[in-house]
Chain A
Amino acid sequence: GAVVSQHPSWVICKSGTSVKIECRSLDFQATTMFWYRQFPKQSLMLMATSNEGSKATYEQGVEKDKFLINHASLTLSTLTVTSAHPEDSSFYICSALTGKGHNQPQHFGDGTRLSIL
């Protein structure tokens, strides 16, 4: 149970392109999802918290207009990297909470490798 699917798993595109990444909870409803980015050998850096039906909460230093997050349903959150540039190349991972308790584990997707040429 608690399967999170992330799509696509790999994207290569030209600079200036906007890229959308989907995060779906397959067998549960996720009121809260999180978006992270991870550089090689580094920790997961939280970008934003996504709550169904409301605006995402971004971490300090993350550009809201650059990384658009939409959580339109209880099973889907999307991250759109707008006008992507080579410095946006990274591994983007989403996670979801299955319930409402604050100390529960997060269930992660398998990430999206984004490469901007």
Chain B
Amino acid sequence: SQKIEQNSEALNIQEGKTATLTCNYTNYSPAYLQWYRQDPGRGPVFLLLIRENEKEKRKERLKVTFDTTLKQSLFHITASQPADSATYLCALGGGDSWGKLQFGAGTQVVVTP
């Protein structure tokens, strides 16, 4: 069955450092991958989308890589700030699942001043 794995342990990081999150998947050939941010008690907010033929995408302090050979995506937050503290979800989509996404459980990031 399709499986998406994100590190379940919270990532504690000091302000100003780079946070790197991992999303691994198995039994899946996604056409694209998306990253979302979710704050407690709120719905996810879209951050970035990367397609299967793209290696890297950037948006301000965020960077995403997508390696379809390793079946892995890395999500980087550079110059992290306490306001970046949240849970980050990766989601895979494509194929015959039009518009539908399969989500990982997310990784909590805690940025301390």
Contacts and interface: CB of A to CB of B under 8 A. Distances in A.
Interface residues of A, number: 24
Contacts of B41: 110-111, 113
A32 B111 CA distance: 36
A62 B100 CA distance: 16
Q: Is the interface of A mostly helix, strand, loop or mixed?
A: loop
B105 interface: yes
Interface in B26-67: 31-32, 34, 36, 41-46, 49, 51
Given A43-B4, A102-B99, A109 B94 contact: no
A21 B100 CA distance: 21
B100 A46 contact: yes
Contact of A32 (B32, B42, B99): B99
A42 B43 contact: no
A54 interface: no
Size bracket of the B interface: 20 to 34
B94 A102 contact: yes
Contact of B46 (A6, A34, A105): A105
Contacts of B99: 32, 34, 49, 97, 102, 104, 106
Interface of B: 4, 8, 31-32, 34, 36, 41-46, 49, 51, 89, 93-94, 98-106
Closest 5 CB pairs of A and B: A108-B43, A105-B46, A43-B105, A43-B103, A103-B32
